[in-house]
Structure 1
Amino acid sequence: CGFPSVINDYMRNIQAEEQERVKPEFYERFIELVTKDALRQGKSDRTMQQVVSAIIKIFGSRSDFRGLAVEIEEPISHPTVIDYLRLMEDNFLVQVLYSYDFAKKRVRYKAMKKIYFTDSLIFHSFNSWLHGKDGYPYSEEFMLDEDKVSLLVEGVVCNHLARVKEVPIIKPADRFLWFYYDARKELDFVYQRENGEYLGIEVKYKPRVSFKDVAAINMPKLILSKKEFDAKGDIAIVPVYVFLCLLESSVKNL
């Protein structure tokens, strides 16, 4: 979580040995702010809820805007879905990750995309809102599923990578951060360094990791593990917490 007030509350509750480490009002306040902002901009909080629900169903997976619209139970056009998604992007709630075409050296804006929540608190607030559950207990229940946790970690990595070089308006993240897929393989993240070279990054937040867990693409690659360190050829395995600690953030980033 990147919200200082929530982190402070969490630390206080640990010291006080409280069972509920994050108070319900933080989740409630967040949802209230999001829905009020949507209403101020002429949006429907019900439609917002449905779009959020659809994003949660597919987050971290390849999809397109039409596919996102299909996940919504009520008939909503995909231009409407895009409108709400852009609003969420502008409010730093989600990040849309585009794929990259190495042959043409350009972003594939019309191809499949991935959507990540920019912060774990944002995800858990939305998830508890959709299911009518208390935020912290429901987040603990969610965190018991290792595959779901891995998706959240992917989102955290995505957000941190974007902040390394991102300069709002002038240099958005889609100028240097993408993912890659073809008919046979996929790579979670492709990061372009200042010298133009590419770095492939695969998140495997699980107890055991193999060098085979990353797609065979001709570039240096990192596998971000739960605890393991290792290296072989152009592949390094590094714990995700170490990787994130070593990343710098753009001075222009908010």
Structure 2
Amino acid sequence: MILSLLEKNVNPRNVFYISCDQVPVLSYKHLMHIIRNYLETYGGDLNYIFIDEITRVKRWSYGLKGLYDSGLLDNCIVVVTGSLPIRLGREVELMPGRGVEENIYMLKPVGFREYVYALLKFSNIIDIENRDNFLRKMDSLKVCLENELSSILNAFKDILPLYPILQKIFNIYLKTGGLPEIVNDLEKYNKIRMATVESIFNLILNDIAKMDRNPDVAKMILDQICIKYASPISMYSIASELDLNPHTVKDYLEIFEKSHIINIHYQIDVRRNSVNFKKNKKIYFTDPFFYYVVKSIVSGMDINEVLIEYSSSEFLPKIVEGIVIEHLRRTKEKPIVREYTTYLYYYMDGRGEVDALYRREDKHYIGVEVKYRRNPSKRFLKTPRTAIRMML
């Protein structure tokens, strides 16, 4: 972002950057003092202020709120980043009405569409002819679940000519997920290094350590998520399996979810037409590679052995289900403004299950059932239709 501003000939004096893990910012008052001094010296018609790793400063929102309310930030665009989403989110909630709303962005592993673009533009892992032409066709193909069902089906027909190449790329995505460092490993070493795996696992446990929780307990809970992957599960069953208090399990799962490591997929209450937080949940990782990382670390297997075992097993459809649920969640999620629990659920009754019910803007639902196999038979496509009709 800073480079982009400089390329647009923004005066370098009007761009201020500070990293709170490189410069010792002692308190929010100290942060206010630093920014105030900068603006008094270099303040212009428009200043850009970038504050990295702001979550290292306790109660940083007090500082920015004080500067904003005093008018010092009237001619400023302030961008703050932090690697601890939980604390970042808590502080943001303390700044209502100060330009924060709808300006919060969470950096997550890339989804499949972005992955296709990145792989074809910046990588040589896959070799195809006429890359630019393929990408232009991709640009014109977008399926919106808010549209009529007929237009959605027509979009699928348009995608079919691109299917062979998309399938090749998807097979790679199933192994690497949306993590750039994994693709880099494959490109450089033709394999994924355990050093990279350990680095990613440490990132997964990063918030746990910063929140003064036990990494060993976290590892056990992550292992249970893998064992029960994509299956309805309760906090109590995990707690019972690990001899833990259910509140402890809930606490760790909330940290993982707010750190964007997992998705907790809730069941819908048909009678109330809303989410049921008490029923069993389905838990997915936000990126397929997180699953492989946990399996590798917990089992002691080399990551490449884990990939061979799971990419050719009957477990693969569950990995794909997690990818689809994450994609649906991202379609219209906006931090604080619109949580995914307002539009995405799963359905289950005594006759069957629907992997995802997507609530459209017109309050109607579209059911999404994920089947990843060559020839799915009709018995795999049975759904509890009566209950769904009740909601429609």
- TM, length-normalised to structure 1: 0.78
Q: Which residue in 2 is equivalent to 1:157?
A: 324
Q: CA deviation at 1:211?
A: 3.8
2:351 is the alignment partner of 1:184: yes
Is the CA contact 1:100–1:107 (under 8 Å) kept in the aligned structure 2?
Answer: yes
Q: CA deviation at 1:121?
A: 1.1
Is the CA contact 1:179–1:188 (under 8 Å) kept in the aligned structure 2?
Answer: yes
Superposition pairs for residues 64-213 of structure 1, below 5 Å? 64-72=234-242, 75-146=243-314, 148-213=315-380
Q: CA deviation at 1:12?
A: 4.3
Q: What SS is found at the alignment partner of 1:71?
A: helix
Superposition pairs for residues 34-45 of structure 1, below 5 Å? 34-45=204-215
Q: Which residue in 2 is equivalent to 1:27?
A: 197
Q: CA deviation at 1:133?
A: 1.5
Q: CA deviation at 1:10?
A: 2.5
Give identity over the alignment, percent: 28
Q: Which has the larger radius of gyration?
A: 2
Q: Which residue in 1 is equivalent to 2:231?
A: 61
CA distance in 2, matches of 1:5, 1:46: 25
Q: What SS is found at the alignment partner of 1:110?
A: coil
**What per-residue deviation string (whole Å, max 9, x for no partner) do you get for residues 141-172 of structure 1?**
122212x1111111000100000010012211
Q: Larger RCO: Structure 1 or Structure 2 (Cα < 8 Å, ≥ 6 residues apart)? A: 1
CA distance in 2, matches of 1:71, 1:169: 33
**What per-residue deviation string (whole Å, max 9, x for no partner) do you get for residues 179-228 of structure 1?**
000122111111111211111111111111134423042569xxxxxxxx
Q: Which residue in 2 is equivalent to 1:8?
A: 184
Q: CA deviation at 1:64?
A: 1.2
CA distance in 2, matches of 1:204, 1:49: 30
Q: What value does the CA root-mean-square deviation take over the aligned residues?
A: 1.7
Q: CA deviation at 1:25?
A: 2.0
How many equivalent residue pairs? 211
Task: Kindly indicate which of the two structures has a greater share of residues assigned to helix.
Answer: 2
CA distance in 1, matches of 2:184, 2:361: 36
Q: What SS is found at the alignment partner of 2:356?
A: strand
**What per-residue deviation string (whole Å, max 9, x for no partner) do you get for residues 107-166 of structure 1?**
1111111101111111111110110111122221122212x1111111000100000010
Q: What SS is found at the alignment partner of 1:111?
A: coil
- Structure 1 residue runs of 4 or more that deviate by more than 3 Å after TM superposition: none
- TM, length-normalised to structure 2: 0.52
CA distance in 1, matches of 2:372, 2:366: 19
CA distance in 2, matches of 1:71, 1:53: 11
The 1:139/1:71 distance shift into structure 2, 3 A limit, reads farther
Q: What SS is found at the alignment partner of 2:301?
A: coil
The 1:60/1:29 distance shift into structure 2, 3 A limit, reads same
Task: Kindly indicate which of the two structures has a greater share of residues assigned to strand.
Answer: 1
CA distance in 1, matches of 2:292, 2:268: 30
Is the CA contact 2:204–2:261 (under 8 Å) kept in the aligned structure 1?
Answer: no
CA distance in 2, matches of 1:139, 1:43: 30
CA distance in 1, matches of 2:253, 2:240: 14
Q: What SS is found at the alignment partner of 2:260?
A: coil
The 1:36/1:167 distance shift into structure 2, 3 A limit, reads closer
CA distance in 1, matches of 2:195, 2:220: 22
Return 5+ residue gaps in structure 2 as ranges.
1-176
